[in-house]
């Protein structure tokens, strides 16, 4: 398609048609940008309105947050950006920010006469994409369109990454002239993505306009179909065309499949602990695609084995794979060495999230978004890394998590692991750790005897409970083992709220809530009580490193993938580090990650704060955390499971810090929203 | 002649008082500044009254005080009343420190600056009215 097609939605009207590849944005843009401004002070409101009109924006003003919300709800695609005051009588500005982030995923700019650091930080952690100090000058308003473009771009990126565009993963979205040579689903993307974004922004807004390729959300089911097709054809012989035929899904294009296959392959490779992929991963990571690395033999085997044993629910497997893929890309490159992984994780975080975030969609984007910043994709990686680590460590069957809920079997193992881990886990990692530990621990044990399935069992138990438990799992983990097994179970009951992603909606929750989740997650995570300490974990990671590599990885995997992008990064790092160090760090990372993931909000709650991206969807976090923990254990079929399995979160300390940094820097807003971009709704499939 | 003079007067007052607001006024909304000023005038009167009440009634609720002042500060800074805004900032500091004495004193300053501002605004509005009448 020609990017330049006139969208018409924009008030600019004529201008849009002028967009051409390589052309600068239409002269009209950002004129016509639809702004909703909320402020209880009538004077300010009036002035702002006037200024915005002077910038040629289309302004809607309200003096109450409730009014604003209802306006947004009744016309979801009617606005491009929201400007909100912080101090409002009926609703706190930050609360409104959360709602908007969760429900509509629009960029929100906060305003206030208050310029205290705390308040501004709150804005950041809650996901605001900018914070203006009153008196607001018109110059400041002239630039707000950048946030809209940025968001679109990221969404697009995710979209593409998810597979609609083959090159999506790698291609830097930024390249103005990037022609999406392959896969341009929509057609010829003449202009750079930027152009597209802009165009989209102006023309089509959030609606899947013709320009914007409909995002393909690789749900668990879809991924399962994909995997089935691939297996049928044989991983070597699987070509997109044939896969597409076998899958027979209307609306799915060859390009979608192609890019997904790419990720899947990476994922597989990652699972098998291919270190050479590291480089690939790096690239991938940067691309932020939680590509599903081709399921490396290992991972594939693991998953499949698990699946075969019935332990791994197909979904989980799919998820794992998806996660793996998502992360695989990132992870594949990462050599088992934690160190390397660390690096990867940082990138992968988004990816990991993906894996973890599987809950929502396998789409990488989502995952990434969840974590906000730190690639949550770590999960797949983590899993992979974990696996590797496990292997390196000694049969640690990293696979650990994914296999679903089989849990019960491993319990004893888990317990053992738990105990071992306890020491280490004390930190928040507990969940992740436990899972990791258990899984990992099991792995060695199991590996000899049972091999993977066992791990899964152990994990499964943990995982299974995930749905509700995820959080629980974490916390108890450290309590000294026996709880480990129990955790998941116990937690399940507790957590139900948290694990939003855990079992249920594949990522949907994560995505949507992005904004909200974070907050919630944080809270939830916190709620999980013990679990969240993981945030501290980050801090502790360094210390715990030696402890249980497994745990960490696991933890990492869980957390990162699902929850927060940012977290993931950390987790991944930790994981990778773990591998080398011996989990301890990994665990920490994992946990941290999950923590991060779980809630960016978690940050606020605790150590996690560092992770920052407050945006963390609370829910996500929770889920992530939960998922992470569970994931590790069992594939948890739930959405995120795949992610967990790959505790990408290696490289704890480094990762964590990196993640943390990332998170902090990552204006959650971006990440978070990105995640949303990938809403399931868009899935044409 | 008279009209021109008045108009010029208005314009220069506007410029001196509200440099930013001035920019916003244009043909599409010739009365923009006037509207804003009126709005501010009324709104700020209310706020000042609230603050006054809060200061005088029993134990001082610093939280509420801070809230009111924050609002007042926001509006006055929006229309460009720098002096008033500065006084508001000082007031808020006292408020944060929960220094009742300091708050009361600072509030006197705020009121003073605000009184000056009000007078200027009144003159401005009056001139605007006159100008529009002669127009």
Question: How is B101-127 classified by DSSP, letter by letter?
Answer: HHHHHHHHHHHHHHHHHHHHHHHHHHH
Mean pLDDT, rounded, for A489-497: 38
Closest partner CB to A135 (pick from B67, B70, B78): B78
- Interchain CB distance below 8 Å, B75 and A43: yes
* d(C-alpha A550, C-alpha A579), whole Å: 7
A133/A244 same-domain check: no
The residue behind tokens 């033999």 is: A297
Which residue in chain A has the smallest CA separation from B31? A50
Q: How many Cα atoms occupy the beta-carbon half-sphere of A479 within 13 Å?
A: 16
DSSP H helical ranges for B57-99:
62-79, 82-96
Q: Using a CB-CB distance cutoff of 8 angstroms, which residues of chain B are in contact with residue A85?
A: 74
Contact between residue A392 and residue A494 where contact means Cβ atoms under 8 Å apart: no
Structural domain includes residue A604: no
A51 inside 8 A of chain B by CB: yes
Nearest to A556 by CA among A528, A594, A518: A594
- Interchain CB distance below 8 Å, A41 and B77: no
B80 inside 8 A of chain A by CB: yes
Model pTM score: 0.40
Contact between residue A374 and residue A516 where contact means Cβ atoms under 8 Å apart: no
Give SS3 for A670: helix
Give residue A401's pLDDT: 40
Mean pLDDT, rounded, for B35-56: 86
pLDDT of residue A371 exceeding 50, the answer is no
- Interchain CB distance below 8 Å, A41 and B71: yes
Domains along chain B?
A: 1-134 (1.20.120.160)
- Interchain CB distance below 8 Å, B24 and A50: yes
Last residue of a domain, one of A108, A126, A159: A159
Per-residue pLDDT reduced to its tens digit, A138-180 = 888 888 888 888 888 887 777 776 654 444 444 444 444 444 4
Give residue A59's pLDDT: 92
**What phi, psi does A647 have (nearest 5°)?**
-70, 95
Q: Which of B43, B44, B71 to mutate to test the interface with A (most CBs of A within 10 A)?
A: B71
B29 inside 8 A of chain A by CB: yes
A146/A252 same-domain check: no
Per-residue pLDDT reduced to its tens digit, A264-287 = 887 787 777 644 444 444 444 444
A147/A39 same-domain check: yes
B122 inside 8 A of chain A by CB: no
HEC profile of A193-236: HHHHHHHHHHHHCCCCCCCCCCCCCCCHHHHHHHHHHHHHHCCC
B70 inside 8 A of chain A by CB: yes
**Within a 10 A sphere around the Cβ of B42, how many other Cβ atoms?**
12
Structural domain includes residue A390: no
Structural domain includes residue A421: no
A137 inside 8 A of chain B by CB: yes
User: Counting Cβ atoms within 10 Å, is residue A133 exposed (0-12), middle (13-18) or buried (19+)?
Assistant: middle
What lies within 8 Å, CB to CB, of A607 at 6+ separation is A428, A533, A535, A536, A537, A538, A539, A592, A595
A476 or B77, higher pLDDT? B77
Last residue of a domain, one of A126, A144, A159: A159
CATH code where residue A232 lies:
1.10.10.60
Nearest to A534 by CA among A489, A497, A568, A490: A568
Total number of domains constituting chain A: 2
* d(C-alpha A646, C-alpha A323), whole Å: 7
Rounded to whole angstroms, what are the CA distances from A594 to A17, A407, A465, A551, A587?
45, 20, 17, 12, 10
Per-residue pLDDT reduced to its tens digit, A505-532 = 333 333 333 333 333 433 333 333 333 3
Task: Fill in the DSSP letter of residue A136.
Answer: P
Per-residue pLDDT reduced to its tens digit, A642-651 = 433 444 444 4
Bridge partners for A371 per DSSP: A565
A148/A60 same-domain check: yes
The residue range of the domain holding A224 is 220-271
Q: Using a CB-CB distance cutoff of 8 angstroms, which residues of chain A are in contact with residue B39?
A: 42-43, 46
B77 inside 8 A of chain A by CB: yes
* d(C-alpha B85, C-alpha B98), whole Å: 20
Closest partner CB to B39 (pick from A42, A48, A136): A42
Structural domain includes residue A255: yes
Contact between residue A193 and residue A243 where contact means Cβ atoms under 8 Å apart: no
Per-residue pLDDT reduced to its tens digit, A226-264 = 888 888 888 888 888 888 888 888 888 888 888 888 888
* d(C-alpha A441, C-alpha A456), whole Å: 11
Per-residue pLDDT reduced to its tens digit, A574-592 = 344 333 443 333 343 434 4
Structural domain includes residue A59: yes
Region of poorest pLDDT, from A31-35, A202-206, B95-99 = A202-206
* d(C-alpha A613, C-alpha A371), whole Å: 8
* d(C-alpha A50, C-alpha A471), whole Å: 48
Give residue B30's pLDDT: 66
Structural domain includes residue A245: yes
- Interchain CB distance below 8 Å, B71 and A43: no
User: Counting Cβ atoms within 10 Å, is residue A408 exposed (0-12), middle (13-18) or buried (19+)?
Assistant: middle
Compute the C-alpha angle A297/A299/A304, nearest 5°: 90
A47/A153 same-domain check: yes
Region of poorest pLDDT, from A192-201, A635-644, B66-75 = A635-644
A150/A225 same-domain check: no
C-alpha distance from B120 to closest chain A C-alpha (Å): 17
Q: Which of B26, B63, B64, B74 to mutate to test the interface with A (most CBs of A within 10 A)?
A: B74
* d(C-alpha A338, C-alpha A344), whole Å: 9
What percentage of chain A carries pLDDT values higher than 90? 3
Nearest to A528 by CA among A498, A552, A551, A554: A498
Closest partner CB to B36 (pick from A47, A54, A112): A47
Contact between residue A595 and residue A535 where contact means Cβ atoms under 8 Å apart: yes
pLDDT of residue A328 exceeding 60, the answer is no
A136 inside 8 A of chain B by CB: yes
Contact between residue B94 and residue B103 where contact means Cβ atoms under 8 Å apart: yes
A117/A227 same-domain check: no
Which residue in chain A has the smallest CA separation from B38? A43
- Interchain CB distance below 8 Å, B70 and A87: yes
Give residue A532's pLDDT: 39
CATH code where residue A53 lies:
3.40.50.2300
* d(C-alpha B128, C-alpha B32), whole Å: 12
pLDDT of residue A95 exceeding 70, the answer is yes
A115 inside 8 A of chain B by CB: no
Last residue of a domain, one of A107, A138, A159: A159
Give residue A26's pLDDT: 52
Task: Fill in the DSSP letter of residue A561.
Answer: I
The residue behind tokens 């010029």 is: B8
* d(C-alpha A514, C-alpha A656), whole Å: 21
pLDDT of residue B90 exceeding 80, the answer is yes
A38/A155 same-domain check: yes
* d(C-alpha A501, C-alpha B66), whole Å: 41
A142/A59 same-domain check: yes
Contact between residue A278 and residue A300 where contact means Cβ atoms under 8 Å apart: no
pLDDT of residue A301 exceeding 70, the answer is no
Closest partner CB to B36 (pick from A46, A85, A134): A46
Closest partner CB to A50 (pick from B32, B71, B85): B32
The helix/strand count (H/E) of chain B reads as 6, 0
* d(C-alpha A364, C-alpha A213), whole Å: 16
Give residue A590's pLDDT: 39
Per-residue pLDDT reduced to its tens digit, A29-41 = 778 889 999 998 8
């Amino acid at each position: 398609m020609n990017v330049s097609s006139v969208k018409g939605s924009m008030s600019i009207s004529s201008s849009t048609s002028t967009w051409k590849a390589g052309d600068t944005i239409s002269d009209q843009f950002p004129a016509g940008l639809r702004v909703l401004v909320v402020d209880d002070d009538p004077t300010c409101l009036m002035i702002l309105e006037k200024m915005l009109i002077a910038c040629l924006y289309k302004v809607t003003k309200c003096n109450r947050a409730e009014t604003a919300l209802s306006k947004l709800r009744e016309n979801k695609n009617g606005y491009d950006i929201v400007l909100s005051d912080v101090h409002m009588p009926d609703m706190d500005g930050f609360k409104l920010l959360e709602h908007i982030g969760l429900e509509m995923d629009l960029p929100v700019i906060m305003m206030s006469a208050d310029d205290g650091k705390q308040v501004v930080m709150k804005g950041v952690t809650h996901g605001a994409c900018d914070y203006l100090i009153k008196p607001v000058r018109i110059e400041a308003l002239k630039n707000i369109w950048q946030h809209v473009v940025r968001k679109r771009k990221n969404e697009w990126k995710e979209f593409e990454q998810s597979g609609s565009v083959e090159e999506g993963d790698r291609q830097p979205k930024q390249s103005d002239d990037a022609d999406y040579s392959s896969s341009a689903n929509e057609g010829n993307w003449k202009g750079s993505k930027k152009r597209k974004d802009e165009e989209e922004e102006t023309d089509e807004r959030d609606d899947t306009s013709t320009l914007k390729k409909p995002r393909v959300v690789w749900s668990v089911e879809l991924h399962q179909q994909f995997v089935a097709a691939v297996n049928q054809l044989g991983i070597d012989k699987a070509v997109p065309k044939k896969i597409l035929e076998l899958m027979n899904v209307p609306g799915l294009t060859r390009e979608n499949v192609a890019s997904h296959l790419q990720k899947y392959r990476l994922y597989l490779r990652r699972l098998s602990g291919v270190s050479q992929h590291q480089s690939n991963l790096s690239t991938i990571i940067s691309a932020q695609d939680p590509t599903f690395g081709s399921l490396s033999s290992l991972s594939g085997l693991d998953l499949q084995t698990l699946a075969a044993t019935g332990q791994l629910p197909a979904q989980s497997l799919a998820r794992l794979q998806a996660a793996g893929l998502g992360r695989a890309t990132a992870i594949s490159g990462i050599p088992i060495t934690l160190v390397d992984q660390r690096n990867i994780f940082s990138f992968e975080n988004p990816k990991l999230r993906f894996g973890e975030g599987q809950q929502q969609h396998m789409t990488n984007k989502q995952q990434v978004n969840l974590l906000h910043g730190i690639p949550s994709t770590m999960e797949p990686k983590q899993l992979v890394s974990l696996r590797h680590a496990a292997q390196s460590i000694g049969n640690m069957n990293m696979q650990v998590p994914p296999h679903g809920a089989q849990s019960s079997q491993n319990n004893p193992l888990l317990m053992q692991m738990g105990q071992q881990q306890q020491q280490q886990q004390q930190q928040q990692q507990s969940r992740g750790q436990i899972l990791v530990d258990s899984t990992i621990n099991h792995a060695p044990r199991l590996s000899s005897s049972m091999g993977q399935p066992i791990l899964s069992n152990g994990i499964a138990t943990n995982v299974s409970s995930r749905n509700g438990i995820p959080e629980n799992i974490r916390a108890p983990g450290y309590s000294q083992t026996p709880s480990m097994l129990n955790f998941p179970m116990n937690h399940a009951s507790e957590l139900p709220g948290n694990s939003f992603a855990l079992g249920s909606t594949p990522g949907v929750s994560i995505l949507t809530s992005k904004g909200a989740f974070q907050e919630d997650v944080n809270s939830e995570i916190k709620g999980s009580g013990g679990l969240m300490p993981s945030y501290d974990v980050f801090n502790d990671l360094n210390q715990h490193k030696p402890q249980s590599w497994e745990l960490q990885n696991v933890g990492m995997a869980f957390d990162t993938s699902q929850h927060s992008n940012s977290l993931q990064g950390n987790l991944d790092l930790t994981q990778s580090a773990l591998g080398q160090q011996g989990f301890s760090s990994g665990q920490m990372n994992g946990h941290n990650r999950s923590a991060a993931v779980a809630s960016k909000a978690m940050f606020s709650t605790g150590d996690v704060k560092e992770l920052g991206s407050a945006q963390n969807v609370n829910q996500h976090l929770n889920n992530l955390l939960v998922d992470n923990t569970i994931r590790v254990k069992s594939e948890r079929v739930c959405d995120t499971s795949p992610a967990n399995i790959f505790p990408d979160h290696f490289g704890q300390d480094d990762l964590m810090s990196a993640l943390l940094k990332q998170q902090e820097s990552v204006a959650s807003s971006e990440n978070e929203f990105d995640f949303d971009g990938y809403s399931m709704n868009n899935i044409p499939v | 002649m008279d009209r021109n003079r008045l108009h010029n007067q208005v314009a220069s007052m506007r410029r001196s008082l509200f440099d930013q607001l001035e920019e916003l006024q244009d043909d599409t909304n010739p009365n923009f500044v006037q509207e804003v000023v009126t709005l501010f005038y009324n709104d700020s009167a209310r706020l000042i009254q609230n603050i006054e009440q809060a200061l005088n009634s029993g134990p001082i609720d610093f939280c509420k005080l801070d809230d009111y002042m924050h609002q007042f500060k926001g509006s006055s800074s929006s229309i460009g009343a720098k002096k008033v805004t500065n006084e508001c900032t000082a007031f808020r500091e006292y408020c944060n420190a929960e220094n009742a004495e300091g708050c009361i004193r600072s509030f006197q300053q705020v009121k003073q600056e605000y009184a000056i501002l009000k007078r200027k605004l009144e003159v401005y509005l009056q001139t605007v009215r006159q100008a529009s009448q002669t127009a």
